[in-house]
Amino acid sequence: MIDEFREGDELIPDAGPPTGDGTATLGDIAFVEGVDPERARAQLAEVPWEAGAKKPDPILVATNVVRRFGGLTAVDVDHVEVQRGVITALIGPNGAGKTTFFNLLTNFDSPDEGHRVFKGESIDSVPAHKIADRGMVRTFQLTKSLSKMTVIENMKLGATAQTGESIFRSVFPFLWKNQEAEIEAKADDLLRHFKMDHMRNEFAGTLSGGQRKLLEMARALMVEPEMVMLDEPMAGVNPALTQSLLGHVTGLRDQGMTVLFVEHDMDMVQEISDWVIVMAEGRIIAEGPPASIGQNQDVVDAYLGSSHDSALDLGREL
C-alpha cells in the first residue's frame, strides 16, 4: 500500500489512518498501562493559556534551561511542563530554538544551566543512550534510517535489554536465540501495523522519504516508550502520506503514549495536537490548545513581526 507513495508519484488522496482491516492493531503490540488519554486531555481544559503553565499530570518538566553557543543564547526556557498522555506540539518560527530545545529535552545536547525531570526523576546527568531505557525515544528531522540494514534489522535494533548485544554472550547464539525470536515477532507485528511488512527484507536505504519516517516511528516503538519525541515528523513527506502518518501519531496517543513533536506545518498542528507550546527567540512565548494559538497576539508578533496590523488568517499563514 504505502510503497506506492514514492516521492514524485501522483498523489493518492485516500491514505487515511490505519483501520481495522485485518491488520494488527497497535493496542496488541504497544501500549502504556495506567494512562487514560481521554482523561489526560480533559485535564488540559483546566490549564491556563499561558507560557510555563503547570499541568495536572506532567511527564516531562524543564526548568530554567539555558543553552548558549558562544555569545548566542539559543534557548532560555524558564519553565515548561508536558502533560502525560496527550499530543503536545512545539512550534515557532525558524531559528526559534525548537530543535535545540528538543535536543536538550532528549539529552542529545547538554544545557549550560537548568534541570530536566522525566517521570519524576532528574535526567540531567543521564547519558543520551540511557534515555531510551527510561521510556523516552526520539526521532530525527533528517530521518536516520540505517540504509545498509534491512527494514527488519532496523526494527530489531530498537528492542532494549537484548542479551545478544553483550560481546561475551553474542558468540553463543543459544543464549539469545529465544529472545531474538520474540523481538522478531514483535517487529513483524509492528511492520504489519505500519503496513510495511512486504518490504521487511529490503535495505532501508531503498525506501522513500515517507516510508523512512514510518520506519523510524515503528522502530522507536520497539523501545516500548512511554514518551515519543518526534522532530519534524512531516518534513519531506509526500502530502499523500501525511494523513496516514497523522493517523499513526494519534494512534500512539490513544495507546497511552505521550507525544511531543516539533513541527512547521500549522495544518498538522491544528489537526492532531492537544496542546501547543510556541517558542520564539529561544523562549516559550505562549501555550494553549491549538485553537487559541492563532488568536494569541504574542504568537502573531513572533511569526509576522509586531508592526504587522492587517487582518490575518493564521491558520493558513503560519
Partner 1 sequence: MDWGAIIETIVRGLIGERFIYFALAAIGLNLHFGYTGLLNFGQAAFMAAGAYGLALTVTSVGPLINDDEGIFQLNISDGWLFVIGVFVGICILPVLLALLMGIPTLRLRADYLAIVTIAIAEAIRIFMRSPRFDWFTGASDGLGGFSGTFYDLSPFDPGERYFFNLFIGNQMFLVIIGWIVLAIGATFCWLLIRSPWGRVLKAIREDEDAARSLGKNAYSYKMQALVLGGVFGAMGGMLRAIGFSLAQPDNFITDVTFFVWVALILGGAGTVLGPLAGAAILYAVLDGTDTFLREAVANDVIPDSIMSGTQVGQVRFMLIGLGLILLAAFRPQGIFGNKEEMALDDR
C-alpha cell at 140: 530525527
**Nearer to partner 1 among residue 132 and residue 318 (C-beta):** 132
For residue 249, the minimal CB distance to partner 1 (Å) is: 17
Beta-bridged to residue 77, according to DSSP, are 65
> Distance of CA 60 to CAs 115, 149, 229, Å?
11, 33, 11
CB closer to partner 1, 88 vs 106: 106
Beta carbon of residue 14, minimum distance to partner 1 (angstroms, whole number): 29
Taking the C-alpha atoms of residue 44 and residue 253, their distance in angstroms, rounded to an integer, is 15
Q: Position of cell 507560557? A: 51
Least distance (Å) between residue 299 CB and partner 1: 30
Return the number of the residue (55 or 213) whose C-beta is nearest partner 1.
213
User: Residue 142 has which C-alpha cell?
Assistant: 533528517
Report the Cα–Cα distance between both ends of the chain, in Å, rounded: 32
Name 58's bridge partners. Answer: 83
| Shortest Å distance, C-beta 125 to partner 1 | 15
In this complex, which beta carbon is closest to partner 1, that of residue 37 or of residue 158? 158
Q: Could you tell me the smallest distance in angstroms from the CB atom of residue 19 to partner 1?
A: 29
Cβ distance to partner 1 smaller for residue 106 or 296: 106
Using only C-alpha atoms, what is the Rg of the chain? 20
- Separation CA 58–CA 101 (nearest Å): 18
Contact footprint for partner 1 (CB under 8 A): 106, 108, 127-133, 137-140, 144-149, 153, 156-158, 160, 162-167, 170-171, 173, 176, 180, 203, 205-206, 219-220, 222-223
